[in-house]
Structure 1
Amino acid sequence: MVNSVEDILMSYKKCTEHIIEILKREEFDSLKDEMEKRQCILDNIISLGDKKNEVKNFYKKFAISDIENEARELMQKKAVLIKEKLKSISVKKTASTAYGNIGSSAKIFSQKI
């Protein structure tokens, strides 16, 4: 069954909106599946090369560029937050390891002379 350009772009828009919701809820486990669905829809849109003008018209009509920009900005913000958390964890792990090694070092000052 061949979908119309309008149906394909509507499903693309809904998928992108769902990705935005997932990012806001920080449910990153289900994000990969939704991104794969979106990529399949994009591949379908690309295969409509002969209907390029129709795709452009519906793209503008549904304001998909605004939704894509929102999704991109949200992904970038979440990526920065995750990188900061990972860096913080790394620093804490290094500090914990350093404090843990204090007890195993040579104790030359604890002996009586």
Structure 2
Amino acid sequence: MFNRPIEIVKTYLIGALALAVLGLGAWSRYQSSNIVDLRAENQAQAQTISQQSADIEKLKQEAVENQRILLELSKQEAEARSESDEVIKSIPQDVKQSHPYNASAPRNVVEFLRK
């Protein structure tokens, strides 16, 4: 008489255990798939970081080169300015006060000098 309820409980327990095992298997499979996806994403991010690091290094080198060129151009500009100052200083005072010296230059000459 009491055997029948025990059999039913055993059946339900076995079914619950089987369901739990299947559920854990499915959960494990999902987690495994998730880990594989995360590893692939991690690899892609590592490649991106590597590429960006190379780009940053290249930009740093270009910045150093641009700085060198800028200093060189500044030096050349200073030399040209000092040369032009020397030329201006070498013009005698009576020439500076003469009419042609103070006259307006032709428009194309002024535009050329502005460039």
TM-score w.r.t. length of structure 2: 0.40
> Which one has more relative contact order, counting CA pairs under 8 Å at least 6 apart?
1
TM-score w.r.t. length of structure 1: 0.41
Structure (1 or 2) with the larger CA radius of gyration:
2
